Amino acid sequence: MKSTTAQIQTQAQAQQRLNNRAALLKALAHPTRLWLVEQLEHQERCVCELTDGVDADISTVSKHLALLRQAGIVASRREGKQIYYRLETPCLLGMLSCIETALAQSPGCCAKSLAAKTDKAKVDKAKPIQSVR
């Protein structure tokens, strides 16, 4: 009986660990958020500086930064009216570097995947809608 309880706890802990990893990756899974992480690699920056480098308004950039903050990837501090962000988990840059290596080893892998999704979407839109009776 104790063995089964221990296995269930271990499985629950493993599932929670996987869920936490997925949540962290989901927080990074946007080009703007990846860019923000790269910009914070060497120094903290205020939202206004970050907004200048992205084609988005302050509100949108702030929402991206808030999501990264909730995931524990960045931290913020207020100085007067300005909010400054810094990278809290620089080890993620190593993971991003690893992703770059994988992409370099398989050129076009993501382009093929994206093209397949685009083609499928075009086919799905072309299908007539049938009512169920």
Please report, for residues 97, 111, 114, 118, 131, the alpha-carbon distance to residue 125 in angstroms, rounded to integers and kept in the order given: 37, 21, 17, 11, 16
Q: What is the mean pLDDT of residues 100-119?
A: 74
For position 119, what pLDDT does the model report?
A: 59
For position 54, what pLDDT does the model report?
A: 87
Query: Which two three-digit tokens encode residue 74?
Result: 């960045």
**56 has a pLDDT exceeding 60:** yes
Q: How many CB atoms neighbour CB 83 within 10 A?
A: 14
Q: What is the mean pLDDT of residues 88-111?
A: 88
pLDDT 10s digits, 19-39: 999 999 999 999 999 999 999
Angle between helices 31-39 and 2-28 (to 10 degrees): 80
Q: What is the mean pLDDT of residues 100-117?
A: 76
User: 46 forms bridges with which residues in the sheet?
Assistant: 84
Q: What does the alpha-carbon distance between residue 130 and residue 49 come to, in Å, rounded to a whole number?
A: 51
Name the more confident of 127 and 122. Answer: 122
For position 107, what pLDDT does the model report?
A: 80
Q: What is the mean pLDDT of residues 80-91?
A: 95
